[in-house]
Structure 1
Amino acid sequence: MVAVGAAHAEDIKLGILFGFTGPLESITPPMARSAEMAIKEVSDSGALLDGSTVTPVRADSTCGDAAAATAAAQRLVTADHVNAIIGADCSGASAAVLQAVARPNGIVMVSPSATSPALSTAPDDGLFFRTAPSDARQGVVMADVLMKAGLKSVAVSYSNSDYGKGLDEAFEPAFKAAGGTITISAPHEDGKADYSADVGALASAGGDALVVIGYVDQGGKGIIQAATDSGAFSKFILSDGMYGNSLIKAIGAPLEGSIGIIPGAEGEGHTKFLTMAKAAGVDGTSSYTGESYDAAALIMLAMEAAKSSKSADFKGKIMQVANGPGEKILPGELAKGLKLLSEGKPIDYEGATAVKLIGPGEASGSYRIYTIKGGTQVTDYYE
């Protein structure tokens, strides 16, 4: 049955709720621009819901301030009248917005980068999805990476946030089960001016390397800076939140040889996205850019599948367009996907990150393992 209101063109608005200020501010602009690439692609095509246009509306989640994220989301819904939200970017902000804004207002959220395992079981009324995998998987992958690298004894410093605590809780048992030893596991607070005391405790415990689960523009960077200044550690293991050129610029040569983990996929879709991003002046290799493009694309494709821009109507179509069966749709082929859906034909949206949604609507996910060599992140393998 075709939903009421699909018979005429609309100006659909999509909120982009990312941390334009805060601990991830250096990686947020490429993420936002990647989502806007998908929005422009669809809007320019005229293929969505009888020629509807789509307009992005940015709002600042701050990443770390749940109250600010909630207020920003509320404005998106009540003042800007968005049809759905791409975001939030960070786990704590996503959890707060989901319960305080999305559920009460029946608004779909698709986060490209909120990874806390707690979000897998949060009540969501079928409104919350994510194109990034849960840290329940990243913790296992991180443990495997360390064992392959011969690093069997590590100290851990994690951000005292939903993200940091969630990933630490996934990593520690996986590493111990694999035969590894954790000499110390200590939280760090973001926003401190001096991390020398934190690093002193980590150094006393020792280890083959220091695992840093944190934010690239905040406490994680501070921990590494203090550790290199004091010579406490010479090798670092970097979680996904620590991926960014700003870290390499800030720390420099002492990061050489450090190993990092970031969600990522290889294949035709990834290659096409990188080409499109370069043409648009966007750094497609930056964190969660492909996931941001995919989050926006899934929302708009689901709208066409439901013949409605209303969250209540299209929330049930997101898993369907993401997983098929149907014709595979890659970046740059959104108009094709929309046309097939308008004809009642199924699609399998593969996108930039080989999208496959599982369980409560989160990515099954693969990870790119890299080593910092010569001041850049060199890919070692995918897992």
Structure 2
Amino acid sequence: MKKTLLSTAAAMLCSTAAMADVNIGNPLALTGPIPDLVAPMAQAVDLAAKNINDQGGMFADGQALNIIRADSGCDPVAAVDAVTKLINVNSVSAILGPVCSGAAIAQAESVSIPAGVTTLSVSASSPAISTMEDGTDLVFRAAASDAYQGVALAELAIEQGITELAVSYANDDYNAAIAGVFAEAFTAAGGTVTANEAHEPSKASYRSEVATLGATSDNLALFAYYGSGGITLMRNALETGAFSTFIGADGMLSDEVIEQLGAENMTNVTFTTAASDDSTPAFGAWQALAEGAGIPAGDPFVPNSYDATFMLALAIEKAGSDDRASVSAALRDISSAPGEVIYPGEWEKAKAILADGGDINYEGAAGNQDFDENGDVAGLFSKSSVVDGAWAAELIR
């Protein structure tokens, strides 16, 4: 269990002076292996900031909320450099992101935790994030851990009648972690893992790996980023007819996969991702906002990106200042009961309640955003397959 640690040094790290704008650092992976996934996430972050500024801004004086963006490139080294600049040069109050697990872990361990700055990731999902803190309460995420998605994917494989398969995973924090969870859950459910091999990202060819894995099974569980080896590995597998069925997780869920490989070749492909229940009032409020701004409301981690931005701003508003030391506790306060329910876009309403000393409970586009003791949230997942040349999602849990 994490415990809040408010040291004197952290308390002195006030990011902006009174009457100044409020700055939140946003180290998204604008380049790297998943830029197509990240682009609408950035749009959702910007929409949340616009909604806030259009409805009175921050505090009684209406200061602007500024999103200070940087590129973490889905890379641990780049993330450390980006967040170091955001904290030490741009003096941000909190960190919104990074997107990828390796980047989120590296920057938190090296930069944001030592500086006493709260991180709220929009999508980093490695199970390792749940237990990485010791004595602090500074790392949160608005998407469920892959400790749950790996199990959901294993259950889906069994339901589809897959009783044996080979596993290939990219050698990075995210893909290695979810592959491990998946393999354990699949085996526990009665399945057989015929081979379980890491592959290095961004190779020109994976024919050797495909041949080795394909000799053990007709089914492949692939955990990779589409832009750093995933498409190439699938292409090599399709060219050689090594596998008849592919399953995997959200690192592969991109339109570019269909464009590169052809929809006609993806009739037996299923990928899972974090999802939202589109029947809830919260998602309905978000969908109206997203459609008005031309943002795909249901794309992977796009609702989570809006939620995370809105919640960090609510936490700072609740604290009454952008003092870094106050963000963590306030983030827990605004995201759980008791309090009046606040939906996406309802900044003016929330601001008035907080100004009167009341409590709020933000219910997000991505679902309930109550943080557990590790800063994690529960979540839903969907399965996506190719229908009429495009990804079609279906909620599974």
Partner of residue 168, structure 1? 179
Q: What is the alpha-carbon distance in structure 2 between the residues aligned to residue 323 and residue 242 of structure 1?
A: 33
Q: What is the alpha-carbon distance in structure 2 between the residues aligned to residue 131 and residue 272 of structure 1?
A: 18
Question: Which shows bigger deviation, 289-298 or 307-316?
Answer: 307-316
Q: Is the contact made by 1:210 and 1:236 (CA closer than 8 Å) also made in structure 2?
A: yes
| Amino acid in the other structure paired with 1:82 | V
Question: Which shows bigger deviation, 261-270 or 159-168?
Answer: 261-270
Q: What is the alpha-carbon distance in structure 1 between the residues aligned to residue 36 and residue 118 of structure 2?
A: 26
Once the two structures are TM-superposed, the CA of residue 98 in structure 1 deviates from its matched residue by 0.3
Q: What is the alpha-carbon distance in structure 1 between the residues aligned to residue 35 and residue 372 of structure 2?
A: 29
Q: Give the SS at the match of 1:114.
A: coil
Partner of residue 181, structure 1? 192
Partner of residue 389, structure 2? 375
Q: Deviations for 1:80-120, whole angstroms, at most 9, x for unmatched residues?
A: 11111111111111111001110122111110111111110
Partner of residue 357, structure 1? 371
Q: Is the contact made by 1:368 and 1:382 (CA closer than 8 Å) also made in structure 2?
A: yes
| Structure 1 counterpart of 2:88, from 71, 78, 81 | 78
Question: Which shows bigger deviation, 5-14 or 160-169?
Answer: 5-14
Q: Is the contact made by 2:164 and 2:193 (CA closer than 8 Å) also made in structure 1?
A: yes
Q: What is the alpha-carbon distance in structure 2 between the residues aligned to residue 128 and residue 194 of structure 1?
A: 37
Q: Give the SS at the match of 2:92.
A: coil
Q: What is the alpha-carbon distance in structure 2 between the residues aligned to residue 169 and residue 324 of structure 1?
A: 34
Q: Deviations for 1:325-346, whole angstroms, at most 9, x for unmatched residues?
A: 2222111212212221222211
| Amino acid in the other structure paired with 1:44 | D
Partner of residue 310, structure 1? 323
Give 1:322-361 correspondences, 5 Å limit.
322-354=335-367, 355-361=369-375
Q: What is the alpha-carbon distance in structure 2 between the residues aligned to residue 349 and residue 269 of structure 1?
A: 9
RMSD of aligned alpha carbons: 1.9
| Amino acid in the other structure paired with 1:21 | T
Q: Alpha carbons of 1:85 and 1:338: their partners in 2 closer, same or farther (altered >3 Å)?
A: same
| Amino acid in the other structure paired with 1:99 | E
Once the two structures are TM-superposed, the CA of residue 250 in structure 1 deviates from its matched residue by 1.3
Q: Give the SS at the match of 1:363.
A: coil
Partner of residue 242, structure 2? 232
| Structure 2 counterpart of 1:287, from 300, 311, 314 | 300
Once the two structures are TM-superposed, the CA of residue 224 in structure 1 deviates from its matched residue by 1.1
| Structure 1 counterpart of 2:132, from 107, 122, 136 | 122
Identify unmatched segments of 5+ residues in structure 2. Answer: 1-10
| Structure 2 counterpart of 1:25, from 35, 50, 70 | 35
| Amino acid in the other structure paired with 2:294 | G
Q: Is the contact made by 1:323 and 1:356 (CA closer than 8 Å) also made in structure 2?
A: yes
Q: What is the alpha-carbon distance in structure 1 between the residues aligned to residue 258 and residue 346 of structure 2?
A: 35
Once the two structures are TM-superposed, the CA of residue 352 in structure 1 deviates from its matched residue by 0.7
Q: Deviations for 1:294-324, whole angstroms, at most 9, x for unmatched residues?
A: 1111111111111121220121111221122
Q: Alpha carbons of 1:43 and 1:9: their partners in 2 closer, same or farther (altered >3 Å)?
A: farther
Q: Give the SS at the match of 2:247.
A: strand
Q: Is the contact made by 1:9 and 1:53 (CA closer than 8 Å) also made in structure 2?
A: no
Q: Give the SS at the match of 1:323.
A: coil
Q: Deviations for 1:337-369, whole angstroms, at most 9, x for unmatched residues?
A: 222122221111112111232231111111112
Partner of residue 8, structure 2? none
Q: Is the contact made by 2:380 and 2:395 (CA closer than 8 Å) also made in structure 1?
A: no
Question: Which shows bigger deviation, 362-371 or 291-300?
Answer: 362-371
Q: Deviations for 1:105-146, whole angstroms, at most 9, x for unmatched residues?
A: 211111011111111000262111000111111111111111
Once the two structures are TM-superposed, the CA of residue 42 in structure 1 deviates from its matched residue by 0.9
Q: Alpha carbons of 1:54 and 1:378: their partners in 2 closer, same or farther (altered >3 Å)?
A: same
Q: Alpha carbons of 1:275 and 1:238: their partners in 2 closer, same or farther (altered >3 Å)?
A: farther
Partner of residue 267, structure 2? 256
Identify unmatched segments of 5+ residues in structure 1. Answer: none
Once the two structures are TM-superposed, the CA of residue 8 in structure 1 deviates from its matched residue by 5.4
Give me the TM-score of the superposition, normalised by structure 2: 0.91
Q: Deviations for 1:2-23, whole angstroms, at most 9, x for unmatched residues?
A: x999995430111111111111
Q: What is the alpha-carbon distance in structure 1 between the residues aligned to residue 114 and residue 17 of structure 2?
A: 27
Q: Alpha carbons of 1:255 and 1:149: their partners in 2 closer, same or farther (altered >3 Å)?
A: same
Q: What is the alpha-carbon distance in structure 2 between the residues aligned to residue 76 and residue 204 of structure 1?
A: 48
Q: What is the alpha-carbon distance in structure 2 between the residues aligned to residue 176 and residue 281 of structure 1?
A: 43
Partner of residue 161, structure 2? 150
Partner of residue 120, structure 2? 110
Q: What is the alpha-carbon distance in structure 1 between the residues aligned to residue 269 and residue 282 of structure 2?
A: 28
Q: What is the alpha-carbon distance in structure 2 between the residues aligned to residue 376 and residue 71 of structure 1?
A: 37
Q: Alpha carbons of 1:47 and 1:344: their partners in 2 closer, same or farther (altered >3 Å)?
A: farther
Question: Which shows bigger deviation, 49-58 or 266-275?
Answer: 266-275
Q: What is the alpha-carbon distance in structure 1 between the residues aligned to residue 356 and residue 309 of structure 2?
A: 21
Question: Which shows bigger deviation, 228-237 or 264-273?
Answer: 264-273
Partner of residue 100, structure 1? 110
Which ranges of 4 or more aligned residues in structure 1 deviate by more than 6 Å? Answer: 3-7
Once the two structures are TM-superposed, the CA of residue 274 in structure 1 deviates from its matched residue by 2.6
Question: Which shows bigger deviation, 355-364 or 144-153?
Answer: 355-364
Q: Is the contact made by 1:265 and 1:382 (CA closer than 8 Å) also made in structure 2?
A: no
